[in-house]
Amino acid sequence: MPYSNACARILRMYCKREAMNEIAIKVDDVSKIYKLYHKPSERLLDALGFARKGKFKEHRALNHVSFAVEKGETVGIIGTNGSGKSTILKIITGVLSPTEGTVEVAGRISALLELGAGFNMEYTGIENVYLNGMMMGFSREEMDARLDEILQFADIGDFVNQPCKTYSSGMFVRLAFAVAINIDPEILIVDEALSVGDVFFQAKCYKKFEDFKAQGKTIIFVSHDISSVAKYCDRVILLNKGDKLSEGNPKDTINLYKKVLLNQSQNIASGQVLADGGSAGEKLWKSNYELNPDVNEYGTGEAEIIDFAIIDEYGSYTNCIQKGTSFSIKSKVLFQSDVQDPIFTYTFKTVQGTAVTGTNTMYEKVGVGTAKAGEVYVATFKQNMDMQGGEYLLSVSCTGYVGGEFRAYHRLYDVCGVTVISDKNTVGFYDMNSETTVERVK
């Protein structure tokens, strides 16, 4: 019997070790607590061991967070600002130490966190390449072998021989990114770094990211670009105010994040945040969104847009819409004067100002007749979201014609942002939803 027990114990240890061999990163019950002091002198007294009670308060940037990342897996971490995303990445990479808990990492990490943090601005680009390589543990000979690839990726020309203090911000981040991405890591940590440089350099960054994923590298990806998270990640972790709120497949976790974005997380479990009334029925619809403080608003005043809403396929207020799903735009208008045949409209534009799509009640052949002073009308536009993943701006208006002359009663240009979440983009702004087949004929 003792022999049998010993064999069983050895077998369990072996199985546990084999299981750990498949784990690239293990975060176990990690908390990070910062002390917030009323004044700098209190920080000094605390460092010397003389801190008095009540002279500081504790802030938990992370609160008992646990998760594991398997080798070859791409895991996204999302959450609002202040949720602890960057803190957990810095702990994983060893920049910070946890207050509580442990982190285990199996493999060499390349971290794209604060690009260029180790650069000396007085050194040339070439000198900083070697300096950063040494900081990452590479010999000069190893960096010699990588130099051409780094410089080709950065593509900043002869500026590599000039001091970094002479660089533009774009050149600086290009070189820093090129150094970080070309050291052949086993684990890649990315924190909002894929949006550096111009659009062509961003495309190159994403291509490199896709190459890493195709090679079976382990990737942790933090981004506010939810479309990229949905496209690239196998699994997503949602942090909220230092707590791990959820972990699962991208679609479900992103749907939960959409509610957190609208400060509705307290109602998620009961499903009370609905656009047809419920707990939010007494609030203005638009109070669920972050409105543009610089909205372009004008009109004759004969009608007033008193409210509007964007509603997803689940009936929830949101400005994050999953591509391919149905959604509605509502516009509520109070008429201050009698208006014959008012026209309700909406338009989506890119952040650069290009109109992408939109419609109105005249195009849709929905007549209103005469709207009397004091009456309120609600126009509802229901459609599928077929725009590409990305960020857009919504405009709504109420217009019409008087004596054949166009009149804008009230317009709200770029009133709020709308994020389209997509795991498949095509060329241009709009997806034709092609049914595609390829057949061998010979």
| pLDDT tens readout for residues 384-420 | 999 988 889 999 999 999 999 999 999 999 999 998 8
In angstroms, the CA 313 to CA 233 distance is: 23
Report the domain count for the chain.
2
CA distance 275 to 278: 8
Among candidates 77, 107, 72, which has minimal Cα distance to 93? Answer: 107
Read off the pLDDT of residues 78-99 as tens digits, 9 standing for 90 and up: 988 889 998 999 999 888 999 9
Pairing of β 74-78 and β 218-222:
parallel
Q: What is the pLDDT of residue 394?
A: 96
Give the C-alpha separation, 260 to 251, whole Å. 14
284 and 252 share a domain? no
pLDDT the model gives residue 16? 44
**pLDDT score for 78:** 93
Could you tell me if 282 and 365 lie in one domain?
Answer: yes
Q: Which two tokens stand for residue 317?
A: 């207020």
* Torsion from C-alpha of 315, 317, 318, 322, nearest 10 degrees: 10
The reply to whether 16 falls in a domain is no
280-285-287 Cα angle (round to 5): 90
Instruction: Give the E-state strand segments of 242-302 in sequence order.
Output: 243-248, 296-298
Question: Residue 265 has what pLDDT?
Answer: 39
- Report the C-alpha dihedral over residues 156, 161, 167, 171, rounded to 10 degrees: 20
141 belongs to a structural domain: yes
Domain boundary among 257, 289, 306: 257
Same domain, 252 and 285: no
The sign of the CA dihedral 74, 27, 189, 259 is positive
301 falls within a domain? yes
Do 322 and 377 lie in a common domain? yes
Same domain as 318, residue 398: yes
CB 49 within 8 A of CB 4: no
**Claim to verify: residue 145 and residue 69 sit in the same structural domain:** yes
Residues 245 and 366 in one domain: no
Cβ pair 330, 380 in contact under 8 A: yes
| Domain CATH for 373 | 2.70.50.60
The pLDDT score that the predictor gives to residue 4 is 52
Question: Residue 239 and residue 220: Cα distance in Å, rounded?
Answer: 14
Q: Give the H or E element holding residue 382.
A: strand 376-384
Q: Give the domain-ending residue among 195, 226, 257.
A: 257
40: containing domain: 21-257
Q: Are residue 185 and residue 293 in the same domain, yes or no?
A: no
Distance CA 92, CA 111 (A): 10
With beta carbons less than 8 A apart as the criterion, state whether 406 and 386 touch.
Answer: no
Query: Is residue 291 domain-shared with residue 208, that is, in the same domain?
Result: no
Q: Are residues 241 and 322 in the same domain?
A: no
Three-class DSSP category at 163:
strand
Same structural domain for residues 175 and 315?
A: no
Residue 10 resides in a domain? no
Residue 427 falls inside a structural domain: no
Helix (H, G, I), strand (E, B) or coil at 67: strand
Count how many residues are written for the chain: 442
Q: Verify that 249 and 287 share a domain, yes or no.
A: no
Question: The CATH number of the domain where 200 resides is what?
Answer: 3.40.50.300
Answer yes or no: is 318 within a domain.
Answer: yes
Q: pLDDT below 50 — which residues of the chain?
A: 1, 14-20, 264-281
Within a domain: residue 361? yes
In a domain, 181, yes or no: yes
